[in-house]
Amino acid sequence: MKDFEFGPQEIKVKVGDTITWQNDGAKPHSATASDGSFDTAIFQPGEKKSVTFSKAGTFKYYCQLHGTPQGNGMVGTVIVE
Ligand SMILES: [Cu+2]
């Protein structure tokens, strides 16, 4: 993540995989699932947070500070296969 986007914006992983978000921006950010299934909480520049995906599905997520659960602003998608 940077200010103010996730890269890549969409990622495909397998069930059981772990995604690590690294905050390479100058502002705090979060990766928060729109359906509430995961949340890194807000974390600071230079920090990393990991989430393991144990269920298949398409998970939209957003930054609590710069996006919305409806998909506006700083948002991304995790596809778990
Ligand atoms: Cu943010």
Ligand 1 centroid – CA 56 distance (Å): 26
How many domains does the chain fold into? Answer: 1
Ligand 1 centroid – CA 33 distance (Å): 13
pLDDT given for residue 3 in this prediction: 97
Q: Is residue 55 part of a domain?
A: yes
* Token pair recorded at residue 58: 């398409």
Q: Is residue 39 part of a domain?
A: yes
Task: Output the domain CATH number for residue 70.
Answer: 2.60.40.420
Concatenated DSSP letters for 13-76?
E-TT-EEEEE--SSS-B--EETTSS-B---B-TT-EEEEE--S-EEEEEEEEEEE-TTS-EEEE
Ligand 1 centroid – CA 6 distance (Å): 9
pLDDT per residue as tens, the chain (81 positions): 999 999 999 999 999 999 999 999 999 999 999 999 999 999 999 999 999 999 999 999 999 999 999 999 999 999 999
Residue 35 domain boundaries? 10-80
* Token pair recorded at residue 42: 């807000």
Ligand 1 centroid – CA 53 distance (Å): 21
Q: Is residue 1 part of a domain?
A: no
pLDDT given for residue 23 in this prediction: 98
